[in-house]
Amino acid sequence: MAAKRILMLVGDFVEDYEVMVPFQMLQMVGHQVHAVCPDKQPGDQVRTAVHDFEGDQTYSEKPGHNFTVNADFATTDPAAYDALVIPGGRAPEYLRLNQRLIEIVRQFVTADKPIASVCHGQQILVAAGVLQGKNATAYPALKPDIERAGGCWCEINETFSNAYVDGNLVTAPAWPAHPEWIRKFLELLGTRIEP
């Protein structure tokens, strides 16, 4: 298996599990993951939030861990990476306002490189205008956004544990889908895990 270089887009109040688990899992299987954030340098931290599903009308939010950025957003060259991961949480709602970040996403799409986006990460895909005709899912509150962006909404199961693939795009509704979306993303990367 060839190790891949993966870019991850993060910001303050990114969802804790959606940044920590993929960051660690992708490295565990031998890939190199660079987490970048606009206006932050390697070694700086972003705050995270834990979003949980406790029977309320929407998710609850609790303080998470601090997550350390390990690469420089300002000098990021999308051509140097094989794939992109966009975690959810509250960060995507303001990260999507950064024009350079949107251009980075568009470059991954134009180059037909694998992209995984989870939960509210799809707000960035909507802002980048890259969902036209694509099958995608997200946290349920994003269904209107995805449909208005020309995407085809894919239903979420009761446990929020399913994920969808359309070409090189993998989307999932939230962190309970980690086993499914990470497995599908690894397949796109050509990663083989055997007993």
Q: Could you give the residue numbers annotated as active site?
A: 120
Confirm if 59 and 52 have CB atoms less than 8 A apart: yes
AA identity, residue 189: L
Residue ranges of E strands in the chain: 5-9, 14-15, 32-36, 45-52, 60-68, 83-86, 115-118, 135-136, 152-153, 164-166, 169-172
Confirm if 116 and 133 have CB atoms less than 8 A apart: no
Separation CA 37–CA 42 (nearest Å):
9
